[in-house]
Amino acid sequence: MPQDPLLAVTPGEPTGIGPDLLVQYVQQPREASLVAVCDPGLLTQRAEQLKLPLAIRLFDPANPVVHHEAGTISVMPVEMEQPARPGALNSANAGYVVKTLEVATKGCVDGLFAALVTGPVHKGIINEAGLPFTGHTELLAELTGGGRPVMMLACPELRVALATTHLPLKDVSAAITRDSLEEVIRILHRDLTNRFGIDRPNILVCGLNPHAGEGGHLGREEIETIEPVLEMLRGEGMTLNGPLPADTLFTPRYLEQADAVLAMYHDQGLPVLKHLGFGHAVNITLGLPIIRTSVDHGTALDLAGTGNAETGSLKAAIESALLLARASKKT
């Protein structure tokens, strides 16, 4: 394996902006050693549509040479079922999207790749193809066969992790148990310490209900579930502040001393994070035996092939993966 960590990159939905972002990103010389796991013809076609130069170099795992020159990319080939037209979803390629993730993840598990960077996928079209898929986070947990995935989005100003991920709102309360919440907090605390090098991380914990339950008048989850778990973990030395009302937690008074926020559900914490950092935020999956980062946005079908997609989040995801991989290599 080369001295610098190899990063696998999956562009995601072939009719979205994922391929555009990758083609645009490699127009400049780069520090990161990238291997795109996808159909090379897709990248060639998209480069032609964007009127950008692109030279494909097929990647050989037995001789893992990676090209860093501007306009050049190393590719581990996975063939699409049908050609992809920008903006026109096609369920025939849903299996291809999943296959790229399987190949890239296996490369991480086997030690070929030091980290995985994922582009945006379209959950709906994968489900329409009859494939059970709720998101990258859940699939990667299944593929790696280990760990409890915890979703965290990060930008320079804020890190937000989630106690639950892609659930209907009506199912959130039942999914937050003492055992599950304890597990999530332990993973968040461990990875902030071990992967991010934060000594004694300070974690803010949201309540589930408005006003954090208002002493039980607006719900008892804080009293019966959240507070007992926090009290137990504080007894082990963790710095946990909460449960706090989510409508006032995301203010400078609290955030200036915080290393991360734990939100109880997807739309409780992520709108604030994306308001602060959209376009340069990174989705990081904690709790897995591999390093995985991702862009913070969707497929943006209307922008595919137009040249108007912004590469900021992909650049941030690659840089974060490289930093985490280098830190992991040292330990």
Q: Into how many domains does the chain fold?
A: 2
Q: 263: which strand partners?
A: 162
Q: Do the domain assignments include residue 34?
A: yes
For residue range 277-320, list pLDDT tens digits in order.
Answer: 877 889 999 999 999 999 989 999 999 999 999 999 999 999 99
Specify whether 263 is located in the same domain as 320: no
Look up tokens 């280098």; give the residue. Answer: 326
pTM across the whole model? 0.89
pLDDT of the residue at 2: 45
Annotation: binding site for substrate: 136-137, 274, 283, 292
Structure tokens belonging to residue 310: 């912004």
My answer on whether omega of the bond before 243 falls inside 30° of 0, hence cis, is yes
Specify whether 108 is located in the same domain as 158: no
Q: Do the domain assignments include residue 237?
A: yes
Where among 278, 303, 321 does a domain terminate?
278
Nearest of 110, 138, 76, 156 to residue 316 by alpha carbon: 156
Determine how many CB atoms are found less than 10 A away from the CB of residue 128.
13
**What CATH number has the domain bearing residue 193?**
3.40.718.10
Nearest of 118, 67, 72, 121 to residue 97 by alpha carbon: 121
Q: Do the domain assignments include residue 245?
A: yes
Q: Domain range spanning residue 28?
A: 1-147+288-330
Specify whether 180 is located in the same domain as 295: no
- Name the helix (H) or strand (E) containing 117: strand 115-118
Nearest of 284, 285, 320, 313 to residue 298 by alpha carbon: 313
For residue range 28-81, list pLDDT tens digits in order.
Answer: 999 899 999 999 999 999 999 999 999 999 999 998 889 889 999 999 999 999
For residue range 68-86, list pLDDT tens digits in order.
Answer: 899 999 999 999 999 999 9
Output the CA–CA distances (angstroms, integers) from residue 157 to 114, 258, 292, in the order listed: 26, 10, 20
Cβ neighbours for 132, distance < 8 A, ≥ 6 positions apart:
none
Q: Do the domain assignments include residue 97?
A: yes
Instruction: Place 330 in a pLDDT band, splitting at 50, 70 and 90.
Output: low
For residue range 135-161, list pLDDT tens digits in order.
Answer: 888 889 889 987 789 999 999 889 999
Look up tokens 């507070």; give the residue. Answer: 227
Output the CA–CA distances (angstroms, integers) from residue 226 to 178, 187, 209, in the order listed: 7, 16, 11
Specify whether 180 is located in the same domain as 44: no
Q: What does the alpha-carbon distance between residue 99 and residue 314 come to, in Å, rounded to a whole number?
A: 21
For residue range 190-225, list pLDDT tens digits in order.
Answer: 999 999 999 999 999 999 999 999 999 999 999 999
Annotation: binding site: 136-137, 166, 211, 266, 274, 283, 292
Annotation: binding site for a divalent metal cation: 166, 211, 266
Q: Do the domain assignments include residue 75?
A: yes
Specify whether 153 is located in the same domain as 143: no
Instruction: Place 1 in a pLDDT band, splitting at 50, 70 and 90.
Output: very low
Specify whether 318 is located in the same domain as 240: no
Q: What is the DSSP letter of 223?
A: I
Specify whether 220 is located in the same domain as 317: no
Q: Indicate the burial class of 63 (C-beta count within 10 angstroms; 0-12, 13-18, 19 or more).
A: exposed
Q: What is the DSSP letter of 174?
A: H
Q: Do the domain assignments include residue 283?
A: no
